[in-house]
Structure 1
Amino acid sequence: MIGTLNLCPRSLLSLVSVPLLLLLLLAPCAQGNTEIINFMATLAESPDIVLPWTQLNITNREASLNITPVLNSTEVWPQSGIWLTLDLDDPNWSSYNKFTLRASWPASHPCDIYIRTFDPQHVASQLLRNRPLHPTRRKYAHIHVINTGIPTPSSIGEDMTWLRREPVPVTLILEPLLLGVVPQSVVPVITLLSGAVAMMIMIMPTAVGYYNTITIPFKQGLLRRKQE
């Protein structure tokens, strides 16, 4: 009991660092309704054409869309799902070379979501027929959904396959990656954790001194008993 009260700085640090390390190791194993793709913002040639698709950019980073799923991969075509325009040409994003596109959806919709990004010349060959061409970092994303659920059988024998084709509400978020790995929205959390760690380090000497003061009477009592 006495030994546990005599805490050194290394012991206190272990109490915090070990659970945090375990959390970081287990985090990749967590399964959530989220699909993420990271991609490079490379230059490509493209004409000044605005396609009639939902656009994500620095002022409109998030979109909530309903995507009609398919039942298996054989039904996936370029017309399946949705297409997005990812406008990365804003000067405020010029210092970022890597971005992330994240799709999230409710757990009540059992499905898999797939995301692919394309340069302008890979979207449609007619784009390159329009002149003049200009360098751009704009990308296009194709997102399709495959339903993986099994509907509850109808009591009257009705075909319930239509339930698997109901649109899935999907939230899409475009973000730059700081240092190529950290999403911009995570920065406030990292700042908060860094402040908490700094505060812990500052108060650790005081805490250790307090606990050592508490243990002095117990240590003295134990020494007297041994001498007796």
Structure 2
Amino acid sequence: MFRAFIISAIAWIAVFYFRLFVLYQQSRLENEYLKQGNLQAQLASLRQQISPHFLFNSLNTLSSLSHEAPVKEYVLKMSEVYRYVLHYQDQQLTTVEAELAFIRSYIYILETRFEEGLKIRIQVGPGALGRKILPFALQLLVENAVKHNVISFRTPLSLFIYDQDEMLVVENDLRPRTTMETPSGMGLNNLSQRYLLTAGKDLCISRGESRFKVEIPLLS
């Protein structure tokens, strides 16, 4: 019971902060185009409602309080996720190696939630690890795949992250959920615009009958 309560509380905090972070990224992009000072002021007020440093310290405290190995491991992964968010939330670029370390912790959290319903494989060569990408690009694509597709134990959702032809590729099964609204594409559009603004390059997005693939340019 205690373990379930702890994990539920941590999951709620994680969802809240990630949504807050996405709003922050969207605001930054809109500010580039529209210079909306009022929107930035509202966002700054929202961000003050919860401190990421407070969350990070709270996770460490939770880890020390619990004696259950699964809970401690879950909290450890959450701490690694937030450490990355704190470090890179204002950075324009990160290395593929750093982003992959972050996404592995994020994937652990997802696999704890979905168990055998989610299968994620990473195969990135050593030559790509030192290249640059935009921070949280992989997280957005993984989150989109989980959010918009059916996940079940009988037919697990598979997702593959790999490098190919100067691109970092995220490819997943395409099994759209029928009980939710049509995806707006806002997250992908924002990521695309961020790449155009930062590097003058764009994503390559392809959608087949059963697979969805996004290719992210590897930067020098």
Q: Relative contact order: is structure 1 or structure 2 higher (C-alpha 8 Å, sep ≥ 6)?
A: 1
Structure number having the greater helix percentage:
2
Normalized against structure 2, the TM-score is what?
A: 0.22
Normalized against structure 1, the TM-score is what?
A: 0.22
